[in-house]
Amino acid sequence: MVQIDTHAPPHVSERDMIPRNLLRAMLALVLICFTIVTVARITGYPLIATPPEGKIVASRVVLLTVDTSGAATVHDADGTLIADLSPEEGGFISGVGRVIERERLKNRLPLEGPVTLIWQDTGRISIQDPSTGWSADLMGFGTGNAMAFARLLAQ
């Protein structure tokens, strides 16, 4: 029977270690990034990766009712049914609706309430929740997903 000494440190060869120069370069990269962000925040450098603002071409107030299965129903502000989407059709719309519900839960607000779909002359589509102040530029999720909401605006 072979006895193994569990108190002995494991053998680490020189080739298993991370080179010191690589560690120093990684630390320098982290410090440079931290410095750039700190300077930008202190000096008030403007955010340049934000989507361009445009004039509102069309907007629509809707009520989203979503399900964890991915199904969603969309009603106009007056209660008229705009879309009744199955889990296969309403995946992205349902996902956005769940985000809105989560924001409302965080702010201790009623889950039901209208949201506003906005189409700008820049071609961008966004959604805003007036009860929480939450909004999202839907173009950031891909053209196909934004088109799901564009169809709701067009109806």
The number of residues in the chain equals: 155
For residue 14, what is the DSSP state?
A: G
pTM of the model: 0.64
Task: Please say if the pLDDT value at position 11 is more than 70.
Answer: no
Q: Where are the alpha helices (DSSP H) in the chain?
A: 20-43, 91-106, 143-154
Give residue for tokens 């029977």: 1
Least reliable range by pLDDT among 8-12, 43-47, 54-58, 94-98: 8-12
List, for residues 38-92, the tens digit of each pLDDT value: 999 999 888 777 777 788 888 889 988 888 888 888 888 888 888 888 888 878 8
Radius of gyration of the chain (CA): 25
Q: Are 131 and 103 in contact (CB under 8 A)?
A: no
Kindly report the number of other CB atoms within 10 A of residue 145's CB atom.
18
Task: Please say if the pLDDT value at position 31 is more than 90.
Answer: yes
Task: Please say if the pLDDT value at position 15 is more than 70.
Answer: no
